[in-house]
A = this chain, B = another copy of it.
């Protein structure tokens, strides 16, 4: 049986998805849920939950203001909203229960800027909790993650756990924008063991992955080429062609040599340039990302990418400005935590299969928190919670099987309890 409060919470969040740094309603709703139901020892909200100067990929003020205004129209605590203004979203909830380890749980809470399916057989449509926004959707299950965070808090409250629990409700994961600012906050510094979790990832309901690895370090970069326009018929030689520079760069970015130390990635994901068919293009832009199995490999790619971009600009007598965007390091799940999670999961009702390890193959900014904890001598582990999801992640028909909310809460809370008893 699924806890009806959790389902209610998850569906409410699903109905009001807010993309990165715009999680105004979402944060306020989580805070209100926690405060109304539990005795919190500490609650850090918005600017107090993160190191604001380390936020990455923050949208512009106008965009933030639009979403903020929208949140204010909902039935929600205005005093919490006030603290979040300007894109300082997220929260850290703390429970102190005597002697014992300080255990962290990190869940992310942001939605995606894409429309949701209105097919009649898409469950949120059928059951009336489809996104209220045309252009936003919880298409990656972070509504479930936030809900599981609350559920774990509840479960630990009711358990024999001894020690300190901190639940990190992290904003802006989808743009790898929020992890760094939470990792740089004081709240992470005393964590002995950190669990992070993700639902789905092509694992079915009833399957748990004890330790996910293979996070690729990632960095976004945006190159803007500036040349000189000219009449393409009358005086083509007077132009300095930013689109030629861009095309040369794209060709050579993808051909940065493969590296024998492990996987690397490059993508020129968005490009644009020029103004009219008959004008030699004076401006062009590439939004790219590089990745590597390790942070070193990502830096190998980034350094090569910069050289390609600069030389391509030189070649066509253009200038190029390269802005580094959001980034995240690589990370691995520690064996000791993986083992605890695996043991607990094997004993959890409803869990039918436990995989010791699996590879993500993508990137995640939970790695900032994992790395911070590991750098301080603690352990970290990223847990996969299977759920039957009809559409793929980030697609219009993504949805979670609410049965798996229980599994997530049970496995994570169980592991947290086990950690306290073992130390």
Contacts and interface: CB of A to CB of B under 8 A. Distances in A.
Contact of A258 (B250, B263, B278, B315): B263
Given A251-B247, A255-B244, A277-B220, A232 B314 contact: no
A300 interface: yes
Nearest to A236: B257
A266 to B, nearest CB: 8
A71 B251 CA distance: 48
Contacts of A218: 233, 278
Interface string A395-414: 00000000000000000000
A237 interface: yes
Nearest to A360: B234
A78 B174 CA distance: 54
Contact of A257 (B241, B259, B278, B314): B241
Interface stretch (A121-129, A144-152, A286-294): A286-294
Interface stretch (A18-26, A98-106, A267-275, A341-349): A267-275
Interface string A274-316: 1111111100100111010000000010000001101110111
Contacts of A264: 258
A190 interface: no
Contacts of A360: 234
A317 interface: yes
> Copies of this chain, how many?
4
B258 A265 contact: yes
A177 B188 CA distance: 58
B287 A277 contact: yes
Main DSSP-derived SS at the A contact region: mixed
A128 B186 CA distance: 62
A362 to B, nearest CB: 4
Interface in A229-266: 231-237, 239, 241, 243-244, 246-248, 250-252, 254-255, 257-261, 263-266
Given A247-B250, A264-B258, A278-B289, A235 B361 contact: yes
Nearest to A264: B258
11 contacts: A236-B257, A237-B259, A243-B271, A246-B247, A248-B251, A254-B257, A258-B265, A269-B279, A271-B271, A311-B312, A311-B315
Given A258-B265, A269-B279, A278-B289, 9 more contacts: A234-B361, A243-B268, A243-B269, A244-B252, A246-B250, A260-B361, A269-B275, A312-B315, A315-B315
A131 interface: no
Contacts of A267: 232, 236, 277-281
A167 interface: no
Interface residues of A, number: 66
A233 B265 contact: yes
A-B residue pairs, 3 tightest by C-beta:
A254-B255, A311-B315, A232-B267
A216 interface: yes
A287 B239 CA distance: 17
A149 B216 CA distance: 45
